[in-house]
Structure 1
Amino acid sequence: MGLLIGIGLVVSLGVGHHFALIGLRQITAQARERPHRSIISVFVGLVAIHLTEILLFAGAYHVLLTWNSVGTLAGHDSGWQDLVYFSGINFTTLGYTRLEAQGPIRMVSMMQSLGGFMVLTWSATFIYTVWKRAQDGF
């Protein structure tokens, strides 16, 4: 069950990230006359996108932890800050924290790490493309 939930969340992450990048591209396309502004806008936009994705996963963990069959987070004091921290660490690394996922929720955590890696590299490619276009314009 945890793996299926994780797959669903990562697919949703990918679809949402795709449309967020399309929106970001449309916003920054207007700044082509000032390439450096475009690069900074993309950077700030990517920070906002990734933070939103981390917060959405934290919300998913909050909901999942209300189901007894999904497992627990050992070391979690039921605070939102712990969930955001756990989600952020899973999103950006392999999830080594003082919080330990126990039960099927481990699969959700694993899938978040995979999804986070994928969208972070996707974003790196996106900002590199913007940078390259800015440099070619000079």
Structure 2
Amino acid sequence: MALFIGFVLVSLLGLIHHYGLLAVRAIKPSSDHRPRAAIIVTFIALLALHTIEILGFAVAYKVLLIWGAVGDLASYDRSWSGLIYFSGVNFATLGYTQIETSGAIRLINMMQSLGGFMVLTWSATFLYSVSERAWKE
């Protein structure tokens, strides 16, 4: 069940990221006319997108912990900042945090790490393509 929940959450992450990238592409200035602005706007917009994705997983963890059927987090002070930290570290560093998981929630944690790796590399490729076009002579 937890693996399925993780799969669904990462699938939603992929959808949100796809439409987020479309939005970033729509708001960024032209790489041909304002190359520096295109890179900076893309970077800041991607940072905002990843922050929203991290916050979304923090909300999902809060709901799952209230539900209680998938396990628990140890060494966690039950604050929103603790959940955001846990989600952010899972998203960006493959889950090595000071907060320990117990129970099936570990599978959701694993799936978030996989999803974070996937969208971070997707974003890096997107930023690289914007930069490459902006830096062409």
Matched residue, 1:116: 116
- Percent of residue pairs bearing the same amino acid type: 55
Q: 5 Å matches for 1:115-134?
A: 115-134=115-134
Q: State the TM-score, normalizing by the size of structure 2.
A: 0.96
Q: State the TM-score, normalizing by the size of structure 1.
A: 0.96
Matched residue, 2:100: 100
Matched residue, 1:69: 69
| 1:72-107, Cα deviation, whole Å (9 max, x unpaired) | 001112101110000000000121111111111111
The 3-state SS of whatever aligns with 1:101 is strand
Alpha-carbon distance in structure 2 between the residues aligned to 1:60 and 1:101: 15
Alpha-carbon distance in structure 1 between the residues aligned to 2:90 and 2:29: 32
CA RMSD after TM alignment = 1.0
Native 8 Å contact 2:29 2:37 kept in 1: no
Matched residue, 1:83: 83
The 3-state SS of whatever aligns with 1:70 is coil
The 3-state SS of whatever aligns with 1:73 is strand
Alpha-carbon distance in structure 1 between the residues aligned to 2:29 and 2:102: 45
**4+ residue segments displaced more than 3 Å:** 29-32
Alpha-carbon distance in structure 2 between the residues aligned to 1:29 and 1:12: 28
The 3-state SS of whatever aligns with 2:28 is helix
Matched residue, 1:49: 49
Alpha-carbon deviation of 1:13?
0.2
Native 8 Å contact 2:31 2:130 kept in 1: no
Alpha-carbon deviation of 1:30?
4.6
Alpha-carbon deviation of 1:114?
0.1
Matched residue, 1:20: 20
Alpha-carbon distance in structure 1 between the residues aligned to 2:130 and 2:56: 27
Which structure 2 residue ranges, 5 or more long, are not aligned?
A: none
Q: Given residue 46 of structure 2, which amino acid in structure 1 is its aligned partner? A: L
Which structure 1 residue ranges, 5 or more long, are not aligned?
A: none
Alpha-carbon deviation of 1:31?
6.1
